[in-house]
Structure 1
């Protein structure tokens, strides 16, 4: 199923469903641990916290990790954003935090702009986060474009009469 269809289905169920569609699409599903582009042990849908090489997990275990990790990402967004966020924008930022971590989000210009009320500027900051290990990765370019589009879509929805 394509990403646009996943997002369309998710949009009716809110931010969590949208973020789940985006994250699972871009992270992909790999039940056996592997090294990501910068050498970090990773498993399932981009889970790193407890991944160890040689590990294999079931689909159910991977789904649980995805849900828990997304929950943590949403908590980080909700705790650090000082303004109300429409569901697509919140989902985009949770996908971003899922990928880069809460610490990077907390220190980012993106968050500073968001909390200063510059939501458009914050969304456009996503395009800067396309490097891993000092290398520009095409997968991150594509992911950030999707996250930026969702982020801006949420803002535009809020402005419609």
Structure 2
């Protein structure tokens, strides 16, 4: 059942996702032009949809926005995983963090998703670092984020 949300039924899973994604996205309560995303207006924990420069939110509003966005990205991610409930928790959260950052379309076409769908979770985790570019250039921050996502992912693979 692809529309189920593991985040909504598992508080610990949601907390892990918020910690991983929020830690890398950082919190900015006033919208700014994100230089890594070609100046796209961004706010809170990396939200870009419907954002205009100068928009501002409280920390609480940003936290709610992130939780809602993670559930939304989870739904998109689940659609391209053959058996999303067979994915162990830590790889699931790492895949969600990647999806949130690169978009579900890119995630669904990725080697990460292909390997996960083949049941090769270790291979999927090891493919995460391939996503280290923004605007066609390798970005040190993305190298670090992907290494952290990969580490977290591998912790959940036997």
TM-score by length of 2: 0.86
Deviation track 1:123-149 (CA, whole Å, cap 9, x = no partner) reads 111001010011211111111111111
Q: Which residue of structure 1 lines up, in the alignment, with residue 3 of structure 2?
A: none
State the alpha-carbon separation in 2 of the partners of residues 89 and 77 from structure 1: 12
Root-mean-square deviation (Å): 1.5
Whether the aligned pair in 2 keeps the contact of 1:109 and 1:122 (CA below 8 Å) is yes
* Number of aligned positions between the proteins: 145
Unaligned runs of 5+ in 2: 1-9
State the alpha-carbon separation in 2 of the partners of residues 143 and 15 from structure 1: 19
Q: Which residue of structure 1 lines up, in the alignment, with residue 157 of structure 2?
A: 155
Which 4+ runs in 1 deviate beyond 4 A? Answer: none
Are 1:113 and 2:110 counterparts? no
Q: How does 1:45-64 map to 2 (within 5 A)?
A: 45-64=45-64
State the alpha-carbon separation in 1 of the partners of residues 57 and 11 from structure 2: 27
Unaligned runs of 5+ in 1: 1-11, 157-161
Deviation track 1:31-89 (CA, whole Å, cap 9, x = no partner) reads 01112112211000000112111111111221121011111122223232223111111
Whether the aligned pair in 2 keeps the contact of 1:73 and 1:95 (CA below 8 Å) is no
Q: Which residue of structure 2 lines up, in the alignment, with residue 71 of structure 1?
A: 71
State the alpha-carbon separation in 2 of the partners of residues 82 and 14 from structure 1: 23
Q: Which residue of structure 2 lines up, in the alignment, with residue 95 of structure 1?
A: 97
